[in-house]
Amino acid sequence: MMLGVVLHAANVYGVRGTWEIHDAAGVPAFDLLSDLIRLFRMPSFFIVAGFFASMSLTQRSASQFLAERACRLLPPFVCVFCTLNVLQLWLQDDDSWFILSRNAFVWTRLPELLREGRVIQHLWFLIVLMWYCVATALFAGVLTGKRERHLRQSIPFGLRTLLGCICISEIGASLLVHVWAPLGEYMLGGLIAPSYLLRYLPYFLFGLWLEANRSELDLFSRLSIPRMFSLAALWIGSQLVLPKLPSGWNQGGQLLAGAVCTWLACQVCFSVFRWLSDRPQRWARYLAEASYSVYLFHHILIVILAQNLQLVAISVTAKFVVVVIGAFLGSIAIHEGLIRHNTALLPLLNGRFTQRKKPVKGEFVAHTTSNSK
């Protein structure tokens, strides 16, 4: 989730100008950086989320699991949605000083932004994950106990076949959104985009399945140098070759190459995640705890920093570096100074009610081994 800082800063300094704020002096390199991060960041997140959802269900009842996930996801969502996100939109509004002076912002501009889905901004994944957790709790009987063992035995194919099927389903979902454009733009109640629910469901389901299959978990999380070179070659080739093809071939090639690159990148990310989990370090543990707070706060900090740097006579690259470092360190400072040791703010802005216990070396391996027996 820390890569959200880099991703959103890159969106500011690209040339597309589709993000919340845009610098007129943007360069295409930052669009490429944004595309590269977007390729794997959220898919990897939902694989990990599904993995730990399945693991959690082996230790808790469905109701306990759902209550724990609701406490983790909903208080931060409500708190940031109603405060930081509204404040950010007010700062971005050209007429906000005039409107707010007449006490009309909340009653005129804000309802429009709610209907457009602008207020939810970077919090969309919390709602998507909450819906996935609700569905997981409803089908918890299939994921635990005797029916879990039956489910494992009834799956007649392995990891590679499953990844191929999911790639096809991902391409189908992308085609559906492409053909039926309103699906990609529609926001239900200004809070949830059905296209997001459809887009990331295969990754969450794959995470659930992966936790229940020890042998396939070992295969998927095995760090492979050839796999990393294949990912780099395929992604670079898609950026250089596909744009030169006719429109139809270009779009089809982008869908296929994007799906394959995403899964290769997810394998690399999950391998690194498991490697770090099996070798816990103090700095990694601290960043893991702070990542939620950083993600919640970095958005408004990037907007504030980028706005103030627009008229500063320095290079775009220098602005990008300043925004990334400033937003990251600012979020870390907020986490350390206001949230981490504050029992009132910790559940509201980090989703936790207590400090995490110190991890034990090899905890990931021991945990997954015991759950796969």
Residue 360 in 3-state DSSP?
A: coil
Report d(CA 54, CA 64) in Å as an integer. Answer: 13
| Residues in the chain where the model's pLDDT stays below 50 | 96-97, 99, 101-102, 146-157, 360-361, 363, 365-373
267: CB partners within 8 A, 6+ apart: 220, 221, 224, 227
Q: Which of 248-256's residues contact partners 24+ apart within 8 Å by CB, and which partners?
A: 251/178, 255/171, 255/174, 255/175, 256/171
What tokens does 347 get?
């559940």
pLDDT tens-digit readout, 264-295: 888 888 888 888 777 778 888 888 889 999 99
Q: Are 217 and 159 in contact (CB under 8 A)?
A: no
Q: 278 and 303 in contact (C-beta within 8 Å)?
A: no
Task: State the pLDDT at residue 131.
Answer: 92
Report domain extents, the chain: 3-372
Distance CA 371, CA 373 (A): 6
Indicate whether this model's pTM tops 0.75.
Answer: yes
β-strand partners of 188:
192
Query: Which residue's structure tokens are 């569905």?
Result: 135
Residue 176: Cβ within 10 Å count: 14
- At position 48, the amino acid (one-letter code) is V
Distance CA 118, CA 106 (A): 14
* pLDDT score for 357: 54
Residue type present at position 177? V
Indicate the SS3 state at residue 191: coil
Residue 109 DSSP label? I
Q: CB within 8 A of 73, min separation 6: which ones?
A: 126, 129, 130, 133, 351
Tokens of 190: 């200004």
User: Are 41 and 83 contacting, i.e. CB atoms less than 8 angstroms apart?
Assistant: no
Question: Mapping DSSP to helix (H, G, I), strand (E, B) and coil, where does residue 192 land?
Answer: strand
What is the reported pLDDT for 138? 86
Q: Give Cβ neighbours of residue 264 (< 8 Å, ≥ 6 apart).
A: 227, 230, 231, 234
* Residue 90: burial class (beta carbons within 10 Å; 0-12, 13-18, 19+): middle
Closest by alpha carbon to 276, among 362, 355, 350?
Answer: 362
Q: What is the pLDDT of residue 324?
A: 96
| Residue 9: half-sphere exposure toward Cβ, Cα within 13 Å | 24
Measure the CA–CA gap between 8 and 6, rounded to whole angstroms: 6
The dihedral built from the CA positions of residue 353, 357, 362 and 363, taken in this order, carries a sign that is negative
What is the distance between the alpha carbons of residues 117 and 33, in angstroms, rounded to a whole number? 25
- What's 188's DSSP letter? B
Per-residue DSSP letter, 123 = G
Nearest to 49 by CA among 75, 70, 63, 69: 69
Closest CA to 88 of 344, 371, 330, 303: 303
pLDDT digits (tens, 9 = 90+) for 341-350: 999 999 999 9
Q: Which two tokens stand for residue 145?
A: 């106990």
Hey, what's the torsion of the CAs at 313, 297, 287, 335, to 10 degrees?
110
